[in-house]
Amino acid sequence: MKISRKKFEELVSVYLDNEATPGEKRLLSKCVLRDREMARIFHRECKIHAAACKIYGRLPRLAPLRGIPDPLVPPEKYLDPSAKAEWASVAMLSAAAIALFIYGMSAIFSNTWNGSEPAKREIPTPAAHPDIPKYFTGEIKIDAAPDGSAVGILAYRR
């Protein structure tokens, strides 16, 4: 059943004013389901009606139409199931990292650990090579290498 655009807009207006009869509601739902252009007009008019109700401080209420979801409620966005699994794995790994961090911090800062006291004994260091003072002049320079990094240069006697 094809109706004119003007007649359709009158149907939408009557529907938005909650004055539509059951026959007009059936006709409106058939038009919206069959014609994309009429569906676009219907949803645009519903958004305008909701905005006008907000301005005047009223709650927009629309009668249900057969086969058409409530035009004032935005449709749920589809989320890919694999994306849900990826986000779940990210959340679990983050929780594990936080748990390990807290465990490590508690081990470092706990006073019950036996190693919290400073060392009381001397740790022997390996003796330096005996010929180093004979050849090393003690002069140290920092220069730039060909690749731009810093290089430490130690001066030795021949």
pLDDT tens digits, one per residue of 129-156: 666 666 666 677 777 777 877 777 777 6
DSSP classification of residue 126: P
Residue with tokens 């690749």: 147
Q: Is 117 left (phi over 0), alpha (psi -120 to 50) or beta?
A: beta
For residue 74, which amino acid is it?
P
Nearest to 65, CA basis, from 41, 19, 17, 32: 32
Residues of the chain with pLDDT under 70: 1, 74-75, 77-79, 111-138, 156, 158
pTM passes above 0.75 = no
Contacts of 65 (CB under 8 A, 6+ apart): 15, 25, 28, 29, 32
